Amino acid sequence: MEKLTSTIEAILFASGNAVPLSLLAEKLGISKKEIDASIEQLKQKYDDEGGQLLLLFNGKAQFSTNPLFKDSVSAVLNQIKEKEFTKAILECAAIVAYKQPITRTELEAIRGVSSDYAVRTLLELQMIEPVGRKDAVGKPILYGTTDNFLKRFRLKSLSDLPDYDALMESLKLDEEDESYLYAKENYVPEETPDFLQDLSKDELIKIE
């Protein structure tokens, strides 16, 4: 039972999202009784006093940060997230501009990390838009830049973009370098090319 409980614990941690208990039972080849017993053990392990809580809802289970510690968590992580999100958004904007039309999967293959937040933010800012679907399995959405992208970066056309390799190299910032600290009004690093300097901190992180 302990091994099963640890297995379910690992799955929930790795997912980060809600996992249906029925899916756990199906994939692990176990009964509802065994699932319930393991979930009960996890509930006891992650009580109301710990940093993590086990949430159970609608036949699903998910780990969540205990809201008792939200202020401390925010104080430490918010600045880190803002930096990461800003860098991710700048990278994604540049990649879409050069490689369009491009799917989110192709964009992520170039960056090597998930780009859901950055793509969603760029869509909300109306800097990119769906321009069709790729003739491939699943018909994934293709994205391209908009006129608003050109206006925000003060470009007359995409031909005004700087050299791609030089631009991407300039966005590979050393997180321990003091140049990675941002000014209050202008939340982009000094090394960032001029055409990417026009997005303010508020514009980049307003989408939660």
| Closest CA relative to residue 64, chosen from 54, 74, 73 | 54
**Which residue pairs, CB below 8 angstroms and at least 24 apart, start in 40-43?**
41/1, 41/2, 41/5, 42/5, 42/8, 42/9, 42/12
Q: Out of 75-79, 85-89, 112-116, 188-192, pick the least confident.
A: 188-192
**Residue 87 vs residue 202, higher pLDDT:** 87
Q: How confident is the model at residue 85 (pLDDT cuts 50, 70, 90)?
A: low
Matching residue, tokens 């192709």: 106
Residue 29: its pLDDT value, please? Answer: 94
What confidence tens digit (pLDDT) does each residue in 51-82 have? Answer: 888 888 888 888 888 888 878 877 776 655 55
The secondary element (H helix, E strand) that includes residue 13 is: helix 2-15
Residue 8 predicted with pLDDT over 60 = yes
- Domains of the chain by range and CATH? 2-65 (1.10.10.10), 72-205 (1.10.10.10)
Q: What is the mean pLDDT of residues 36-65?
A: 87
Residue 172: its pLDDT value, please? Answer: 56
Model confidence pTM above 0.85: no
| Closest CA relative to residue 129, chosen from 117, 115, 144 | 144
Q: What is the mean pLDDT of residues 133-137?
A: 89
**Residue 166 vs residue 70, higher pLDDT:** 70
What confidence tens digit (pLDDT) does each residue in 167-200 have? Answer: 666 555 433 343 333 333 334 444 445 555 544 4
